Amino acid sequence: MDPPRVAVGAVVIERASGAPRVLLIRRARPPLEGSWSLPGGRLEPGERLTDAVAREIREETGLEIRVGPLVEVVEIVASPYHYVILDYVGEPIGGTLSPGDDASEVALVPVPELHAYGLTDVALRVIHRALAMTAEG
């Protein structure tokens, strides 16, 4: 098994169109190649966590985001991978949605349609926690 790796991800919530939509990517590489998930990736040496979140979202989706609060720390142990993932809230502030880097597709998905994307239970939990944290009230 590989040594544990620190990674970051983001639940990017777009509300400009009215009802919230969540940014998803279809993974172009292992692990979970071909599956839909939250965007994110590994931390680079010397990189701050929030800088890594913004960089990964830009590289994978073309969007610039404002990084918000930490939603959850997720640990995934699935041989040969061991990831410790820090998932943050993100808000789009610019850029053009386009797949890049580790993503073969990108989509802003209305919340009621998330179930159709085959997301893991962990991803759905993180998404719903982020939505609750950012609910406008």
Catalytic center residues: 105
CA-CA distances (angstroms) from residue 120 to 21, 34, 37, 49, 116?
Answer: 18, 13, 8, 23, 11
Residues 52, 67: Cα–Cα separation, whole Å: 10
Residues 71, 79: Cα–Cα separation, whole Å: 25
CA-CA distances (angstroms) from residue 38 to 1, 53, 111, 128, 137?
Answer: 24, 11, 13, 12, 25
